[in-house]
Amino acid sequence: MSTLKALEILGLPESFARFEGRITTQTTRPHRIIENYDTSSGSLKIYYTLEKLPEVNSLFGLYPFNYLAGALYHMGFHIDSENTDGAVLMNPGKWVTHPAISGLAGQNVYYVTQKINVTESGIDFSFEPYETVVNGVAEDMKNPLIQIPYHARTIVKGTDGQPKITWTSRYPVTPKKRFRRDEFVSTFKISMDAFINATRRTWNIEKCDNSKFITSIGMDIETNPFNSDLKSVVYINGVDASTFNYKTLVNSFGKTYDGFMWHWRLMNGPRIGGTTDNVYGSTLNIPITGANATIQVESGSSNTYNDATRTLTFNPSLTDEATVIAYMEFLPAGGKNENCGRQLNLETGVESLF
């Protein structure tokens, strides 16, 4: 297997090789605010406490390399820093004015800062826990509401004269008041940075043998400098899947695959063939059986595919810029649809992850 080739295909720096592995579990750290109804002193007192619940470990399948590539190329993150401990990826908060088609048309909405801290043992994901839209109106974010569940609790005087909890709501309730950032910090004596870290989600990285387990999947579109050929190549653990028996490798949820769906997609205007023939929303969908992993591409006056000559024709005069996508998806999905793709703009020559 080739870790460096896997990094190259996914557009990751070689220094990220140390994060290779697989993820099968996640850890969440829930917190809640308790609205206490306390009569233990003889009169009703209503006050609020911040409560940390036990950590929750649950099954979650993921490949670190693929997640980090997705964060960098699709989720707006950039590498902020890197040292011997690991790397920090940031997606800074930003203001976005929503277009007319949106229910928030014309409003300037804040999208919160997100942070990924990756080490060899796991990927921590955290974000600013703020309500950015309340009752259909964008918040100005000067002192935003905290996004956290509220539960109710009753406290009475016990037989020993001490306060005794008699009931805590099983599900969240609508509280009498909600906390904004400044009051949250002052009431519960915790900084926002500390709270953000305390509520982070962790995907736990398991080190494993990449000759026995899948640690990454990737796609490449190989171009030929002497003609218009494009070749779709599926990479598993940095190796061309057509050159070895990948079906022995165990995936992120403990199973092996029987194969994968593989196709080309042309994105260049409305789909041809309707939803029955093409459920992917692409203009054309061309299944790959292996023989047509390599196709010829040429411009013309219409969008067509000739199966006999394996020639894809696209119309560059349309409003949309023509893009071809090489895509694969493991089967059976088993509810997890592990997939990847690569796209090539046929008019600009720009290639990127899909």
Q: In the prediction, which pLDDT does 103 show?
A: 86
- Vertex 300: Cα angle to 299 and 301 (nearest 5): 145
Q: In the prediction, which pLDDT does 277 show?
A: 58
Q: Write the CA distances from 240 to 8, 20, 237, integer angstroms.
A: 13, 18, 9
How far is residue 160's CA from residue 283's CA, in Å, rounded to a whole number? 74
Residues near 331 by beta carbon (within 8 Å), at least 6 away in sequence:
257, 258, 259, 260, 261
Instruction: Decide: helix, strand or coil at residue 69.
Output: helix
How far is residue 104's CA from residue 122's CA, in Å, rounded to a whole number? 37
How far is residue 175's CA from residue 344's CA, in Å, rounded to a whole number? 51
Instruction: Decide: helix, strand or coil at residue 65.
Output: helix
Exposure on the CB side of residue 10, measured as CA atoms within 13 A: 32
Residue 317, number of CB atoms within 10 A of its CB: 9
265-324 residue pLDDT tens: 999 987 776 655 566 778 898 999 877 799 999 999 999 999 999 999 999 998 888 999
Exposure on the CB side of residue 56, measured as CA atoms within 13 A: 12
Q: Write the CA distances from 349 to 191, 321, 345, integer angstroms.
A: 48, 11, 5
Which alpha helices (H) appear in the chain, and where do they start and end? Answer: 3-10, 64-73, 181-188, 192-198, 274-277
Nearest to 80 by CA among 116, 119, 123: 116
Q: What 8-state DSSP symbol labels residue 39?
A: -
Q: In the prediction, which pLDDT does 275 show?
A: 56
Instruction: Decide: helix, strand or coil at residue 186.
Output: helix
Both tokens assigned to 37: 């109804």
Q: In the prediction, which pLDDT does 216 show?
A: 97
Q: In the prediction, which pLDDT does 292 show?
A: 72
How far is residue 178's CA from residue 175's CA, in Å, rounded to a whole number? 7
How far is residue 289's CA from residue 184's CA, in Å, rounded to a whole number? 58
Q: In the prediction, which pLDDT does 276 show?
A: 54
Tens-of-pLDDT digits for all 354 residues of the chain? 799 999 999 999 999 999 999 999 999 999 999 999 999 999 999 999 999 999 999 999 999 999 999 999 999 999 999 999 999 999 999 999 999 888 899 999 999 999 999 999 999 999 999 999 999 999 999 999 999 999 999 999 999 999 999 999 999 999 999 999 999 999 999 999 999 999 999 999 999 999 999 999 999 999 988 788 999 999 999 999 999 999 999 999 888 998 899 999 999 987 776 655 566 778 898 999 877 799 999 999 999 999 999 999 999 998 888 999 999 999 775 667 789 999 999 999 999 998
Which alpha helices (H) appear in 101-174, and where do they start and end? Answer: none
Both tokens assigned to 326: 């090489």
Nearest to 305 by CA among 286, 282, 281: 286
- Vertex 36: Cα angle to 174 and 175 (nearest 5): 15
Q: Global pTM?
A: 0.92
